[in-house]
Structure 1
């Protein structure tokens, strides 16, 4: 069955996709190419990696064993290798991290930042299918060095690097090419945009690392676990499916982001429409407060009319004021005459009373003396004693004075009336002048306004522009279609390709599942009755008569199950001649996972046995020194820090 599936070529797959999509094959090729999907067969021939030496120099700083460092571990070979110490924190994990640093070019968390300047040089040699190579880091701080190919006594430079990024890129390119690996691409949503996230050797090398308390059955990244497993098993066309899935995710994310952007645009449009409506309302209020030219012309005519009417009132008031002035002068003369008459009357009466009270004794002219007889005769005749003139009767002086007083009062009332009349006419003239000036000022202002360009014109233009912009923003954009033709082709491509390799994958997974069960039991998971590895890297098991899964196990059981699954994948792929796993495992402190001594002993014994069964497998395990380790790992394959010593 496997041989039949291997013979399914790209043209056959593309033809099936085109038939199901009811599209032309060239059209399907174009769609796939547009989305970065490549249908290229990639059946790799397994290559075997073996780390043969690790060396480094440097200087420890601080209070913990300070001093120069000159470490070398040579003559390493396939099989189980152990790094142990009697005490914790003696550099076991760091040694595994340095190996991985040399393999990937990336200094990981196993070499913490406080060690950034501890290592000065770093060298690791390894073979790949017997061909020897050397990674030489001449400056571990700046990460400068060379990858050498060793031929006998010759060292041939393969590539060089001078930065952390350069180191990583060089090792990634080397191993991806040598092992026939293909970059895995996922498309992720990064807030406001979708991003293609490539995963190269740094990520794929996670299949060689088993850390304490693992969360994933294969590799260190859940999102890549299934595709990494398929790649290392050698399942054909998995990279095409990876590209198809990435393309579908890309379209989905871009569609979602486009919908979000459309909604954000719609919200911005609504907000802008509200702003424009507020601006329009403000302009209309301004325009309402500005007079129109027609109204200004009407107001100008009214101002001219008011000016003419005030001018007429002024002329009339001036004429009347002139007459009133003359009348007032006449009233003033009459008043003055009446007052004079009253004064003269009073003065005359007073004089008469004085002269009548006189008793002359002689003539003032001739000095003739008047006797009593003459005085009595004159008194009887009512004549003047001096001149003999008969005295006139005076009438009623009281009535005369009252009459004169009445005349004065009448004259005074007439004068007051004329004053009031004159004052009223003066005020009328002043009011007419004020009205004339106001009307004249209004007329001039209106004439000036009419002569100048209208201030309403630019407001009216702006109002028209804003109303047009509002109408333009009010047009809703069309929504993008939910599913495009390209998406349909990609969906069909995924189904057809998976169907093409599923029989082989199921066959491989069944074989791997049987080995997982065998290895896990040998590693101490004695209650395991059945194991079934699924295509998504989930491990479904039967333990103690019940169903169980990888994620529900204890940390120690997960570590042993992961080791069993990784070695099973290596062995099946090797046996089928399909896989790409290089055959090196870096297992860090499996005994730290609350593993009882018997289970730990079973794990170490099982690893030693499996390492012998798979000749090219090289396993590095770190642990605290104990009888189990020393009993199953020969002393020459053991790196041991005794007592208080450090490994480096």
Structure 2
């Protein structure tokens, strides 16, 4: 019987909405356990986490003109280790936030590189530890990155060349009374090593391997070891679709404040800012509240999904019902449009037989028509040939008569004059008046001019009885033409007779086919009617099924009793956590304001940090929020908030923060040296009161040298490098 179960049972018994739920305390406890909600709050017992030694070594590959390369052996790029080449073959832009090492020459090119071995070792102290340099890009952030690499198991964002330089890392951590050493070899950011427990007994150091890692499992090994030893609980959070558990990566990221990562105000994970704040100063019931909220949201999501599914199903049924109604109407319309007459099957058979008989007759007539058409065409061609022959002979006779009776006056070749004297001498001299050839005397007597040299047969053709022969031949040819015309007309008459008979039979056949088509349409309509009537019956059945009233009882996958318990638990725990946190939040808000103003932001006032991890304030008297501040103001406020939260968590004995805080380049956002000095003093005060270990890396090294003991600082002056 738990206190939480008792309180929840009382809330459920008084519930009005939905009616009271009567459960015993034991039943409530059982449901809470089933939902993964702890029955008891967890007392915050912070375990201090301190870095007591950091050591790393490797090889720098520098340009020969680099100050550190003087006197060092040169190695061609092709002879360098394979993982080193990408970092030295070309310049990569330096990451100001990381402050990785870089050579002074920003225009370096590939070429021989100087091999410069290096080794760095430092034993930080409790309290504030400073890492400073006279210039940027001198290795301050690299030192912090190596420290956090060993703690988180996740390789930071080194510059390419620096990542390839680091070959071995050893970091000793103190967690309460336990001493752990994280040691690993690194090849271009991939770590292979182990975590060992170090114990000293009678001046003898003994080590026990707690975990080994090779590559990507480094982060998992560190998470498993650190969560248990620092007594940190997993942080369950419900996202849009599923529960997600945040663990070591989320916790470890909250140990670092960087100038380029200022949102949210608490930690570095936007979705779990509230949980991070509760880790700093959370009450005993904060982890239980997180579990209850996650369980309730999970069930609410399942319930919402079921409701959406039921709604979608109902909408689908309605759509189907409307579709069924439309289908019934469409089928009925189709049936109404069909003809109502019944087909006469016997008449259709008679028409089919008649159409077939006529088609056979037409086939025979069409064959005869084709043959007769061919004969008619032949007769026409013969008539044309006879007419052409008669015409040709007639034209020949006319041409002969014409040309042989010509009396040329000029020679057709040389254009010489043919004199009348020469023409008159032809009968006497028997010579052609044009060419002077001797004339055929026999043809000459027939008044035909033919040379004596023309063969006898040719001359006779011109000389013998032309008028009489022309008349007899012409009459014979006219007889041939008349005979051909009669034959052609007879053939055309036969073709016309066949065409008339074919047209008559075609009309009879078309009438029979038309009556047959009408019968076919009636048969098809009758067949369609039967098919549509069956389809209509099915559609009406489907419509009847869809229009029946649905069963109002729907199965809800969420147990309403369990949901009521989760909601009541969230309600109770929210109040308990708020009652415990609010007084402390007022004190923390006052400290945030005091520290922020001391850091130089005197225009900010009236700070209030709410339980939702939201910060309200005023800027020059006007209401403002953390997200509305400038980057420089955000940096000051975030550092102040981290300091105040850790301090009050330790003082109040409710914090789970291990007391390790890393501030990377706080002066990057235009923080004057005097404000930085004020910050370092404030950090020293908090570290002394809350037994913290704080690392500050800054380019303004003067406040570190002035305020921190030599053992608590690593400072590279001038152009020197931290390592």
Give the TM-score, by structure 2 length: 0.60
Match of 2:638 among 557, 562, 568: 562
Q: Select which of 340, 348, 355 maps to 1:303.
A: 348
- Equivalent positions of 1:393-472 (< 5 A) are 430=505, 434=509
Q: How does 1:41-440 map to 2 (within 5 A)?
A: 41-60=41-60, 61-62=87-88, 64-65=102-103, 67=115, 70-108=118-156, 110-111=157-158, 117-139=164-186, 141-152=189-200, 153-164=205-216, 166-189=217-240, 194-212=241-259, 214-258=262-306, 295=342, 298-304=343-349, 306=351, 430=505, 434=509
Choose 203-212 or 537-546, whichever is displaced more: 537-546
Match of 1:599 among 675, 679, 686: 675
CA distance in 2, matches of 1:549, 1:10: 36
Shift in Å, 1:173: 2.1
Structure 1 residue runs of 5 or longer lacking an equivalent are: 1-6, 314-421
Which of 684, 688, 701 does residue 608 from structure 1 map onto?
A: 684
The 8 Å contact of residues 218 and 229 in structure 1, kept in 2 or not, is answered as: yes
Output the CA distance in 2 between the equivalents of 1:521 and 1:59.
44
Quote how far apart the aligned CAs of 1:19 are: 3.4
Q: Return the alpha-carbon distance in structure 2 between the equivalents of residues 232 and 311 of structure 1.
A: 104
Return the alpha-carbon distance in structure 2 between the equivalents of residues 206 and 613 of structure 1: 24
Q: What secondary structure is seen at the aligned counterpart in 1 of 2:268? A: coil
- How many residue pairs match? The answer is 523
Distance 1:547 1:539 in 2: 11
Structure 2 distance, partners of 1:428, 1:462, is: 47
Cα distance change of structure 1 residues 625 and 273 upon mapping to structure 2, 3 Å threshold? same
**Which residue does 2:109 correspond to in 1?**
none
Structure 2: gaps spanning 5 or more residues:
16-20, 61-86, 92-101, 104-112, 359-496
Q: The residue matched to 2:168 in structure 1 has which SS?
A: strand
Q: Contact 1:144–1:163 at 8 Å: present in 2 too? A: yes
Q: Following TM superposition, by how much is the alpha carbon of 1:623 offset from its aligned partner in structure 2, in angstroms?
A: 0.6
Q: Give the secondary structure class of the aligned counterpart of 1:180.
A: coil
Find the counterpart in structure 2 of residue 40 from structure 1: 40
Of 579, 582, 591, 2:658 maps to 582
Asked whether 1:510 is paired with 2:586, we answer yes
* 2:124–2:711 contact (8 Å) kept in structure 1: no
1:143 alignment partner, SS class: strand
Alignment TM-score, normalising by the size of structure 1: 0.67
Q: Of the two, which has the highest radius of gyration?
A: 1
Residue 714 of structure 2, aligned match among 604, 620, 639: 639
CA contact (8 A) 2:302 2:557 kept: no
Which digits, 9 at most, give the CA deviation of each residue in 1:113-135, with x for residues without a partner? 77654443333211001311012
- 1:461–1:445 CA distance, 2 compared to 1 (3 A): closer
The alignment partner of 1:55 has SS state of strand
C-alpha separation between the residues in 1 aligned to 2:304 and 2:129?
Answer: 51
Residue 499 of structure 1 is matched in structure 2 by 575
